[in-house]
Amino acid sequence: MSGWLPLPDGMANEESLSIESPIPLWAQLAATLRLRIERGEFDAKVPSEPELSREYSVSRATVREALRALRTEGLIQSIQGRGTFVSGDPWDKVLTSGYSLAESIANQGMQESSKVLIAGVCLDEEASELLQIEPGSGLVEIKRIRFASGQPVAIDHSFLSLRIAEPLLELDLTSGSLYKQLYVHCGLRVTSGVERLRAVQLFGGEAELLEMSEGDPVIEIERLAYVHRQPVELRRTLLCADRFQFYARWGTESSA
């Protein structure tokens, strides 16, 4: 991890700031905090502005400018009402493979959990059509906020046929993969799917649920999952854009 602000001479082994240095105090503080982040001294959450102001005997304005520089570098992120946190590396998603958010969170060494917003039966004409079931036959609707070590990273909103997925409504859905539950309790293993990705802006309640501001960008994934040739789930996922990156594999063997 490297930044664009220089580390002032004499600060590699100490964390005091010098008013005699030609480098502004905010830049010295930013360099010092960056070094502490690289050392792993902060347990996810960065000390608050008042705490840093007292620790380094500088003004709140100096602290604010230093934190702004680190946010610009992508080293930290601020969540309204909760504080400032060290940013993790973006989580890779391979576009040619299946994807489990629960598995991605676990692979980062973080605790995965969910808050269930909706778990019930509904009617939805568009979802019924895409799932190839008769209109009015009923759907299982599940909507969850997904968390990584307490930080919201996604919203999942799924529709499944009531006939095949009704047992899911009796389960604890506050952690784990929905597909694993579908296999264990309904005997269905998802075998394939199609997804459409696009960047969208957050508005209204969804911005509040992800503790983001209205207009902030997120990645929207619309998925239709299949068991062999039968569609079984329609899902819309909103992913925090700063936590994920996508890549695809290709080669000349597949070129036309």
Q: What is the pLDDT of residue 107?
A: 72
Same domain, 66 and 171: no
Give the CA dihedral 212, 217, 219, 220, nearest 10 degrees: 90
Per-residue model confidence as pLDDT tens digits over 64-98: 999 988 887 777 877 767 788 887 655 556 565 56
* 33 and 156 co-located in one domain: no
Contact between residue 185 and residue 203 where contact means Cβ atoms under 8 Å apart: no
CATH number at residue 76: 1.10.10.10
Q: What is the pLDDT of residue 52?
A: 93
Q: In what order do the strands lie in the sheet with 76-79?
A: 45-46, 83-86, 76-79
Mean pLDDT of the chain: 82
Q: Is residue 10 part of a domain?
A: no
Please, which residues bridge with residue 79 across strands? 83
- Give CA–CA dist 63/220, Å, rounded: 35
Q: What is the DSSP letter of 202?
A: -
State pTM to two decimals: 0.64
Asked whether residue 74 falls in the same domain as residue 108, the answer is no
34-50 pLDDT per residue, tens: 888 877 788 678 899 99
